[in-house]
Amino acid sequence: MSWWNPREGFGDFESLNSNTWIWHKCCESLTRELRMALILVVEDEHLLRWSIVRRFENLGHTVHSASSVAQAEAMLAKAKPEFVVLDLRLPDGHGLDFLERSQRELCGVPVLVMSAVLDPGEEARAVALGVCGVMTKPVSHNDLVRIFSLHANPIPPKPTDGGQ
């Protein structure tokens, strides 16, 4: 089992040091300050979908999950999410086709696209559709949470005393 952090790169759990632990705890404390959100995870790989759902649920968010375009469309008809994690290659269609058809329903909703194989045309199309990020699998849960916190759930500014 390996981990990754931006300062130290890849490693194994036996070699975790205090800097890595501190970095991980900073990510956790940041997410505690966030308001809870409704997140839609569209991923056909069961274990990956389960782990992403659990990661966001453990942070207190409500997560709906879908393993296909049809399920994602049904979820979207029931409730508008505040963030979407979207796989591209799904058993019944392409994630970007779903995104294109759902532009009205997802207006203003940050969408993070992920795929095991991503060609430059898909990436350009995703950017043209306004996604907030593109990730290649395997994905880091900490990176998912970081992107979520930056795009979907920013920490509100602290109130000021009005310049007094």
Q: Is 22 helix (H, G, I), strand (E, B) or coil?
A: helix
Give the model confidence (pLDDT) of 63-87 as tens digits: 999 999 999 999 999 999 999 999 9
Identify whether the C-beta of residue 43 lies closer than 8 Å to the C-beta of residue 22.
no
Q: How many domains in the chain?
A: 1
Per-residue confidence (pLDDT) for residue 25, from 0 to 100: 46
Q: Does residue 160 form part of some domain?
A: no
Q: Does residue 85 form part of some domain?
A: yes
Which has the closest alpha carbon to 88: 54, 50, 131, 57?
Answer: 131
pTM exceeding the 0.85 threshold for the entire prediction: no
Q: Tell me, what CATH number does 117's domain have?
A: 3.40.50.2300
Identify whether the C-beta of residue 152 lies closer than 8 Å to the C-beta of residue 82.
yes
The contacts of residue 115 (CB under 8 Å, 6+ apart) are 87, 88, 89, 95, 122, 134, 136, 137
Cβ-in-10-Å burial (0-12, 13-18, 19+) of 120 comes to exposed
Asked if residue 164 has pLDDT above 80, the reply is no
Q: Does residue 87 form part of some domain?
A: yes
Q: Does residue 2 form part of some domain?
A: no
What end-to-end distance do the CA atoms of the chain give, in Å?
53
Cis peptide bond prior to 110, omega within 30° of 0: no
Q: Where are the extended beta strands (E) located within 15-137?
A: 38-42, 62-66, 83-87, 89-90, 93-94, 111-115, 133-136
Q: Does residue 19 form part of some domain?
A: no
CA atoms of 164 and 103, how far apart (whole Å): 44
Domain that holds residue 104: 37-151
Q: Does residue 14 form part of some domain?
A: no
> Range with the lowest mean pLDDT among 8-22, 63-77, 107-121?
8-22
pLDDT above 90 as % of the chain: 66
For the segment 122-138, the average pLDDT, to the nearest whole number, is: 94
Q: Does residue 16 form part of some domain?
A: no
